[in-house]
Amino acid sequence: MVPLGTLGAGESAEIIGFRRVQGGGGPLSCHHGTGRHLHAGRGPGHGRPRDGKGQERRLSELGFSPGQVVEVVQNGRGVPVLVKVHDGRMAIDHNVAMEIIVKRKTL
């Protein structure tokens, strides 16, 4: 099992789950050292605690749920990871892709 962000273009994998970052964060959580804190004002998070649960739910709603097979279309330096999921394509941040744990599919 490896993070989705390590796969190359053309590789397919089955989603196993989500890795928890230290401090209790999860996918899409803030990475300012603690993995969980508040953002106030206009910035990301708008004052809500980031515990990872809502982010995992949102990724699942977008098709990134355990058991789902995804294919990496593009994965390069400085660009989001482009993934084919269901019948569409989605670009996700590389940090988020590194928190999605997958099992490579063999041909």
pLDDT tens digits, residue range 49-99?
455 667 788 888 888 999 999 999 999 988 999 999 988 999 999 999 999
Q: Order of strands across the sheet with 69-74?
A: 2-3, 100-104, 12-18, 69-74, 81-85, 88-92
Pairing of strands 69-74, 100-104: unpaired
pLDDT tens digits, residue range 11-43?
999 999 998 655 444 444 444 444 444 444 445
- The boundaries of the domain holding residue 25 are 2-104
CATH code assigned at 31: 2.30.30.90
pLDDT of residue 63: 85
Q: Which of 97, 98, 104 is nearest to 12 (CA)?
A: 104
Please count the structural domains in the chain. Answer: 1
DSSP 65: -
